[in-house]
Amino acid sequence: MTDQAFSDTLPRAGAGQSRALRIGLRWTLYAVLILFALFYLMPLFVMVTTSLKSLEEIRTGSLVALPRAVTFDAWAKAWSGACTGIQCEGVRPYFWNSVVLAVPAVAISTFIGAVNGYIIAHWQFRGANLFFALLLFGCFIPFQVVLLPMARLLGILGLAGTIQGLIMVHVIYGLGFTTLFFRNYYVTIPQELVRAAKIDGAGFFRIFWSIFLPLSLPIIVVTVIWQFTQIWNDFLFGVSFSQAGSQPITVALNNIVNSTTGVKEYNVDMAAAIIAALPTLLVYIIAGKYFIRGLTAGSVKG
Amino acid sequence: MSDWLGRQIPKILLAPTFLAVLVFVYGFIAWTAWISFTRSRLMPQYEIDGVIQYERLFAAPRWDTAMNNLYVFGTLFIVIAMVLGLALAILLDQHIRAEGALRTIYLYPMALSMIVTGTAWKWILNPGLGIEAMVRGWGFESFSFGWLVDPDKAIYTIVLAAIWQSSGFVMALFLAGLRSVDGEIIKAAQVDGIPTWRIYTAIIIPSMAPIFLSAFIVLAHLAIKSFDLVIALTGGGPGYATDLPATYMYAMAFSRGDLGQAASSAMIMMSVVFAIVVPYLYSELRAKHD
Amino acid sequence: MAPILEIRNVTKNFGTTEILKGINVAIEPGEFLVLVGPSGCGKSTLLNCIAGLEETSGGEILIGGRDMTHVSPKDRNIAMVFQSYALYPTMSVAKNITFGMKVRGVDPATQERKLKEVAAQLQIEHLLNRRPAQLSGGQRQRVAMGRALVRDPALFLFDEPLSNLDAKLRVEMRSEIKKLHARLGTSMVYVTHDQIEAMTLASKIVVMKGGVIQQIGTPSEIYNRPANVFVADFMGSPAMNLIPAKARANGGETRLEIARAGEPPLVLDHAAPAGLPEDVILGLRPEDIAEAGFRSGQQVQTVDCRIDMVEPAGADTFVVSEMGGKQVTARLHAETRARAGEHLPLSFDLGKASFFDPASGDRLN
Ligand SMILES: Nc1ncnc2c1ncn2[C@@H]1O[C@H](COP(=O)(O)OP(=O)(O)O)[C@@H](O)[C@H]1O
Ligand SMILES: [Mg+2]
């Protein structure tokens, strides 16, 4: 070996050492990340496997074991036979309640939010900022503070315990966020665009219809997902303002799980929970990007 | 004339929302506030009778427990979720190969209803058949994990489930923040030979102060409103051990028929939220005007 | 002929801040009026008031002799081109251009004909089906012009239409706009902060500062006889030299003395008109200070000056010499023998000189 070669190896030895260290660190990094992934996945895994086991197997087997014999009995029962108190029709009617509730509530609150956002962003008038501030503060109230008067009002309007009543409640308290979403999106559309359209002779509705709506697809998706998730997952309004027959699925799920009649059927509970979670999970899987955008937009006010 | 009408259209269209907010938010708050100063029980009464409801509230041991629980739950939940979220964000920021998949996994609980989350964790934490039984099955016969039914520990199960649900969201917030730090500053630091951990502690994290603030606001807000999770996981029990202000309020309003207590506890909840949120929103709105 | 646009005493406040402080301008038919001034002086605000996009706080705006102060933009018979072009992002180029006609209910055949005409004029026929996002900056600019042209308005309004283009394209489009004006003969109001644009395009220039008109005049009036030190400094590049000097009566004449650091004062005999106050500011453009022997005339005086800096700029060479505490720039030939640190005789063409009052900044001669 020549001197030349030797002097070359020194730094390389150092580099080799740090490379080993780097690879070690890298492995640790991945190990930690995967460990956390397991932590987040574990409940879902347990839910799914439990829902596919028989009660007998649940009693004798381990929490995290895969089912020895897969059975969909629990799913069938959860869908159409589980008891939510005295009734034993499964979650099916409540699932449809939630659909019938969420679809119009999401559509109406998104539409009104779009018009509101458009006005606040581009048709400023005296007091518009004050209105926006009032709306924004309204987004943050704990709903407990409106529960009592709303229950009374629904009673007076004859909407107590009806799905229409719940739709109204969700629209009203969703408006703050939908308006905020659209307003924050529309302020990024340059004022000059509106001015050009005004010179072209377009008025309020024309500008909204021909220029803003065609640009709005991303924010509509974000808003619809946000509203759908909020309304589908809502429990407080559902449990406060519905009665047997008009309850949304979250309330039914809670009733099934906490019903004290008969033996505790964990597999049915888990199947019902998965059914209740499925729509929003699907939305998350299909349109995760927009879901996250909504979450961050809902938290970072701009 | 038609020009005048044209100029009024925005106001006319905004009016219903304006009225709705005025009535259903501020009007209702006022109604609740009013009721909280009366002797209302099952039915609302409108004669103001001082702060009797608040006196009753502060004298009630159950409310005391609820506020105490909120304090314990809120602190642990916010601190751990922030630390975990930040840690995960930084780890994910190291050019991880499967970043997209991992992000999806960390964040999916946020798509679930708290009721679903509560149901799942109730099953996992149940002493008879859940984790406790599983570990015992592995041969650790004396292992015991009964937090869910232990009045002193049950609150921690709620902390656990809440963190499971929300920390991925905090991660997403922080990750977005990390990614928005000016790349040139980081390159300059790298050229200067500053080690990676110093770049994080000295440059990146300090520049994310606004994100810490928003994460804090969102988490605090979640904590104060926490209701579904408690109902699904512990039902407020054992006894009243895991009551939170939200469940207290609900119990007073809908099972105890004590409107005065429900109203006064709701007002306290709102005061706590506003004490946190109002300065934040105020500064945000101010900043935008300048 | 009656003015096509008349602005009388227009004021505009945003909240309590007064942005426009009593603007009076009139434009004859066919004129090309350029509004020039530094950023934030209220040019766009004034243009938006003319267009009806902002309500004025006071005063009147007449277009084609009719009071349009409270008329909505679409009925003012104007067209406008914006700095950001403001093309409708979801519409094709053709739709962008015809949108206004469609809104007004022009029949489709006419829309088609006018679209063809304008597209041919601007050479954008091959772009008609593209979206704005698929166009280059220059192409967008043309489309924005096209959208204005199909209106056949009585008045064109331009708000810094070239400021988003690169330098070369800007010069090209500038001459196209000039040709367009020559061909159409329609009156135009053109806002810019670029004084070269103003000089090359305008038949009449309005210089604004802080919501107040500083001077109205032809480009040559503005350049040669600026109304105050602000206009003198703002118009022209490099800017006019503004040199503090003392005017001293010397027999029937007035002599100027300019202090110099480390040198005897610079004295110019028979330099100034009579009746000046003692303290004045002498305004002299760089091209009116030449190397000795290159400029002759009755009022040319040659003085020895120390050269502090030499800046070759291709066609010209700029030299800087300190006078009256100011860096005075002279525009010399490219092959000058000036060297930094040496002395050089410079000729001052005082026939071109402007004099300003140091206190008010107003022109004295
Ligand atoms: N809608 C508005 N509200 C408040 N101030 C404004 C508004 N529009 C413009 N201004 C202010 O008016 C001044 C003049 O603006 P502008 O006319 O856009 O100037 P420029 O001469 O650069 O076009 C600026 O100081 C600007 O901040
Ligand atoms: Mg401008």
From A198, A206, A215, residue closest to C90, measured CB to CB: A215
Tell me which amino acid residue A21 is: L
The reply to whether residue A199 touches residue C51, judged by beta carbons under 8 angstroms, is yes
Residue C242: helix, strand or coil by DSSP? strand
The C32-36 sheet, strands edge to edge: C78-81, C155-159, C187-192, C32-36, C204-209, C212-217
Distance CA B4, CA C360 (A): 46
Query: Pick from A71, A98, A119: which residue ends a domain?
Result: A71
Distance CA A145, CA B26 (A): 10
What residue ranges define each of the domains in chain C, with the CATH number in brackets? Answer: 5-234 (3.40.50.300), 241-356 (2.40.50.140)
- Expressed in angstroms and rounded, the spacing between residue C45 Cα and the centre of ligand 1 is 6
For residue A142, pLDDT beyond 80: yes
For residue A37, pLDDT beyond 90: yes
Same structural domain, A113 and A248: yes
The tokens for A243 are 């009665």
Q: Is residue A188 part of a domain?
A: yes
Distance CA B105, CA B161 (A): 16
Q: Is residue A80 part of a domain?
A: yes
Name the residue of C10, C20, C36, C44 to mutate for ligand 1: max ligand atoms within 8 A of Cβ.
Answer: C44
Q: Is residue A233 part of a domain?
A: yes
Residues of B with Cβ-Cβ distance to A238 under 8 angstroms: none
Shortest-distance ligand to the CA of residue A129: 1
Residue C59: helix, strand or coil by DSSP? strand
Nearest CA in chain B to A292: B172
Distance CA B163, CA B148 (A): 16
C88 touches chain A (CB under 8 A): yes
Distance CA B51, CA B56 (A): 9
Q: What is the pLDDT of residue B16?
A: 92
Phi, psi torsion values for B69, nearest 5 degrees: -60, -40
Shortest-distance ligand to the CA of residue A122: 1
- Expressed in angstroms and rounded, the spacing between residue A116 Cα and the centre of ligand 2 is 28
Which protein residue has the closest C-alpha to ligand 1 atom 5? C14
Confidence check on the interface: ipTM exceeds 0.90, yes or no:
no
Strands C253-258 and C241-250, sheet pairing? antiparallel
Same structural domain, A63 and A102: no
Q: Is residue A302 part of a domain?
A: no
Q: What is the pLDDT of residue A261?
A: 67
Phi, psi torsion values for C103, nearest 5 degrees: -60, -40
The reply to whether residue A204 touches residue B254, judged by beta carbons under 8 angstroms, is no
At the topology level of CATH, where does B63-289 sit?
MetI-like fold (1.10.3720)
| Other chains touching A, judged by 3 or more CB pairs under 8 Å | B, C
Same structural domain, A281 and A132: yes
Interface test mutation site (partner B, options A39, A144, A255, max chain B beta carbons within 10 A): A144
Distance CA B126, CA A135 (A): 43
Query: Pick from A20, A49, A71: which residue ends a domain?
Result: A71
- Alpha-carbon torsion (A170, A173, A179, A184), positive or negative: negative
The tokens for C152 are 């056949």
Same structural domain, A15 and A128: no
Same structural domain, A43 and A146: no
What is the block-wise mean pLDDT of chain B (290 residues), using blocks of 10 residues?
73 91 94 89 81 88 91 94 93 86 90 92 85 77 77 89 92 86 80 82 82 86 88 84 91 88 92 86 68
The backbone region for C324, taken as left when phi is positive above 0, alpha when psi lies in -120 to 50, beta otherwise, is: left
Query: Pick from A50, A71, A92: which residue ends a domain?
Result: A71
Is the pLDDT higher at A245 or at C171? C171
Distance CA A176, CA A165 (A): 18
Q: What is the pLDDT of residue C218?
A: 95
Q: What is the pLDDT of residue B105?
A: 92
Q: What is the pLDDT of residue B287?
A: 67
- Among A13-22, A231-240, C236-245, C290-299, which is the least confidently predicted range? A13-22
How many contacts does A have with C, using Cβ atoms within 8 A? 57
Which protein residue has the closest C-alpha to ligand 1 atom 1? C14
The tokens for C123 are 């050479």
Cβ partners under 8 Å of residue A251, min gap 6: A94, A235, A238, A239, A242
B6 touches chain C (CB under 8 A): yes
Residues of B with Cβ-Cβ distance to C72 under 8 angstroms: 3, 6
For residue A168, the enclosing domain spans: 76-297
Residues 7-66 of A with CB under 8 A from B: 29-30, 32-33, 36-37, 39-44, 46-47, 50, 58-59, 62-64
- CATH number for the domain spanning A126: value is 1.10.3720.10
Q: What is the pLDDT of residue A7?
A: 30
End-to-end CA distance of chain B: 37
The whole-angstrom distance between residue A149's C-alpha and the CA centroid of its chain comes to 27
Cβ partners under 8 Å of residue C235, min gap 6: C36, C195, C198, C199, C205, C207, C222, C223, C226
The tokens for C262 are 């480390």
Distance CA C243, CA C180 (A): 41
The reply to whether residue C86 touches residue A202, judged by beta carbons under 8 angstroms, is no
Q: How many domains does chain A have?
A: 2
Same structural domain, A81 and A59: no
CA angle in degrees (0–180, nearest 5) for C89-C95-C96: 55
Write out residues in chain C with pLDDT < 50, as ranges.
none
The reply to whether residue A301 touches residue B133, judged by beta carbons under 8 angstroms, is no
Residues lining ligand 1, judged by CB closer than 6 Å? C 14, 19, 37, 39-45
Q: Which of C198, C202, C136 is nearest to C164 (CA)?
A: C136
Same structural domain, A137 and A203: yes
Q: Which of B72, B30, B38, B70 is nearest to B54 (CA)?
A: B38
Shortest-distance ligand to the CA of residue C54: 1
Residues of C with Cβ-Cβ distance to B3 under 8 angstroms: 70, 72
Phi, psi torsion values for C63, nearest 5 degrees: -120, 125
Q: Report CA-CA distances (Å) from B223 to A201, B60, B260, C253.
A: 51, 22, 24, 88
Would you list which residues of chain C are within 8 Å, Cβ to Cβ, of chain B? Answer: 70, 72
Residues with CB under 5 A from ligand 2 (ion): C 44
The residue ranges of every structural domain in chain B are 63-289
Phi, psi torsion values for C347, nearest 5 degrees: -100, 125
Counting atoms of ligand 1 from 1, which one is nearest the CA of C45? 17
Same structural domain, A99 and A22: no
Counting atoms of ligand 1 from 1, which one is nearest the CA of C43? 21
- Expressed in angstroms and rounded, the spacing between residue C55 Cα and the centre of ligand 1 is 14
| Other chains touching B, judged by 3 or more CB pairs under 8 Å | A, C
The tokens for B187 are 């390159």
Q: Report CA-CA distances (Å) from A301 to A180, B14, B51, B277.
A: 8, 21, 36, 12
- Expressed in angstroms and rounded, the spacing between residue C42 Cα and the centre of ligand 1 is 6
Q: Is residue A137 part of a domain?
A: yes
Predicted confidence (pLDDT) per residue in A73-117, tens digit: 888 888 887 777 777 788 888 999 999 999 999 999 999 999 999
Which protein residue has the closest C-alpha to ligand 1 atom 25? C40
Same structural domain, A31 and A168: no
Name the residue of C14, C34, C48, C207 to mutate for ligand 1: max ligand atoms within 8 A of Cβ.
Answer: C14
Same structural domain, A55 and A87: no
For residue A194, pLDDT beyond 70: yes
Cβ partners under 8 Å of residue A74, min gap 6: A51, A52, A53, A265, A267, A268, A270, A271
Same structural domain, A38 and A187: no
- Expressed in angstroms and rounded, the spacing between residue C240 Cα and the centre of ligand 2 is 25
Shortest-distance ligand to the CA of residue B289: 1
Q: DSSP letters along chain A, please?
A: --HHHHHHHHHHHHHHHHHHHHHHHHHHHHHHHHHHHHHHHHHHHHHHHHHTS-HHHHHHS-TTSPPSS---HHHHHHHHT--SSS----SHHHHHHHHHHHHHHHHHHHHHHHHHHHHHHHS--TTHHHHHHHHHHHHTS-THHHHHHHHHHHHHHT-TBSHHHHHHHHHHHHHHHHHHHHHHHHTTS-HHHHHHHHHTT--HHHHIIIIIHHH-HHHHHHHHHHHHHHHHH--HHHHHHB-TTS--HHHHHHHHHH--SSS--HHHHHHHHHHHHHHHHHHHHHSHHHHHHHHHHHHS--
Same structural domain, A185 and A259: yes
Residues of C with Cβ-Cβ distance to A123 under 8 angstroms: none
pLDDT band at A260, cuts 50/70/90?
low
